[in-house]
Chains A and B, each alone.
Chain A
Amino acid sequence: MIPREFVYFDPDSLDDALGLLAQYGDDAKIMAGGQSLLPMMKLRVLSPPVIVDLWRVPDLAYVKEEDDVICIGALTTHYQLETSAVIQAKLAPLAAAAKVVGDPLVRNLGTIGGSAVHAAHNADYPAVLVALGAQMVLMGAKGKRTVAAETFFEDMFATVIQSDEVLTEIRIPAERVGRPGVYLKLSRRGTDFALVGVAASVVMAANGTCSEASIVLSGVGSIPVRAAGAESLLHGQRPTMELIAEAAVVAARDLDPPADVQADAQYRRDVAQVFVRRALTESCPQS
């Protein structure tokens, strides 16, 4: 299992990378950590004529805080995220997700940007990024634009990113930073891709009601699925066991999950309900 031949560039600046993308257009594919791309190339299900490998591009792996916004460089690896004190302390669902992406060896090379752009429907980060209201910073030859994670994912393996653009940074807005939250996922084996994943974050008001809830699922649609009905059900209410159970029912009710060899659609729908309930229960200790 060996990739087909390709033309290879490993520019040492972002500008050069953008120049190559502008030059080669759809023929070019960016390689970040390579942990999803290379297996597909080895299986020859994907054979890009041109690879623009970002490994030499400096300063794209970082976690930093700018005015309470958390900025994550696109080439930050899962392991770097998993062990980042900032992420652990302030972005609980993201820290939880980083721990269960692939396996420890894959986590050493795979990057959050690569995973986001790959946009597998059963990947862990996309749901978390949507739940956290992340902003995706895209650089192109024509300049920079920022897209909300909510609109970034278009379809299975498809995002709004243009062929001449690079995802350089993911920004978590200040109001989301420091909120409690969880990411729970179910895999049949080890920490494989999610059959169902749930990123949940609940903010409680002083009076014990829920002032804001964010519930986003992975693995149950072609892109991350926000459980908007469940969120609004919780809003302004005391998150009792009964309410949480009802929210879980609402969250799962309208799902149209994919079926594959690991699980049928019905299974995913059933387990989505269970996992939304469990995620909310974990997020609301007073329930």
Chain B
Amino acid sequence: MNRIIHTTVNGRKVVEENVEPRMLLVHLLRDRLGLTGTHVGCDTTNCGACTIRFNGLAIKSCTMLAVRSEGAEIMTIEGLAEDDKLHPIQQGFWEKHGLQCGYCTPGMIMSALQLLERYPEPSEAIVRRELEGNLCRCTGYQNIVEAVLWAGEQLKSQESTV
């Protein structure tokens, strides 16, 4: 039986009717809520293009039923910048040429957000390991690693000035 889902997405309350139980969360976000920054690149939970933040955790939204988002706090790439101020990770990807075609980028950024929370001063090896759930075909990851390390520095200096 289809359901009504109450959830919070990027700080806004969302009530979505007529949600099939089999609907994947990524399709609720993309097709119902128009949040097309979250992408789909595989069928098998490998590529991470669909990575979002779900109750504080980075998850693959193609591998969660939308009905499970009842009562959840969700953040997608669209909710990361504050007004027009980019998050340091977004800025880092831009500064360091951490993207080419941009398709994996939102997932990569949402994954990096968790990475820097868990490892505020990561080594290159940690960055690479923690991004294992996100595939990029363009960059060879090198500048993604640079971008995340750069963002880590920024976040650290932001913290020290607060």
Contacts and interface: CB of A to CB of B under 8 A. Distances in A.
Given A34-B63, A104-B130, A105-B111, 17 more contacts: A2-B24, A7-B1, A8-B1, A38-B24, A39-B45, A41-B22, A42-B24, A103-B132, A104-B58, A104-B114, A104-B131, A104-B132, A105-B58, A105-B59, A105-B134, A108-B59, A190-B132
Nearest to B128: A190
Contacts of A79: 57
B67 A8 contact: yes
Given A2-B22, A35-B45, A53 B68 contact: yes
Interface string A51-74: 101010000000000000000000
A283 B45 CA distance: 34
Q: Main secondary structure on chain B at its contact with chain A?
A: mixed
Contact of B65 (A38, A106, A191): A38
A23 B67 CA distance: 22
B39 interface: no
B157 interface: no
A4 B21 CA distance: 10
A38 B130 contact: no
A16 to B, nearest CB: 16
Interface in B23-82: 24, 43-45, 48, 51, 57-60, 62-65, 67-68
Interface residues of B, number: 29
Interface in A6-30: 6-8, 10
B124 interface: no
B20 interface: yes
A221 interface: no
B122 interface: no
Interface of A: 1-8, 10, 31, 34-35, 38-39, 41-43, 51, 53, 55, 79, 102-106, 108-109, 190-191
Contacts of B60: 105-106, 109
Nearest to B22: A3
A17 to B, nearest CB: 15
Contact of B43 (A4, A6, A7, A42): A42
B25 to A, nearest CB: 10
A-B pairs with lowest CB-CB distance, top 7 = A103-B133, A8-B21, A1-B43, A105-B133, A108-B57, A103-B132, A190-B132
A5 B64 CA distance: 15
A53 B65 contact: yes
Contact of A38 (B64, B115, B131, B132): B64
Contacts of A8: 1, 21-22, 65, 67
Contacts of B115: 104
Nearest to B2: A8
A98 B136 CA distance: 25
A10 B130 CA distance: 31
Contact of B20 (A1, A5, A42): A5
B21 A108 contact: no
B46 to A, nearest CB: 8
B59 to A, nearest CB: 5
A109 B114 CA distance: 14
A39 B44 contact: yes
A42 B114 CA distance: 27
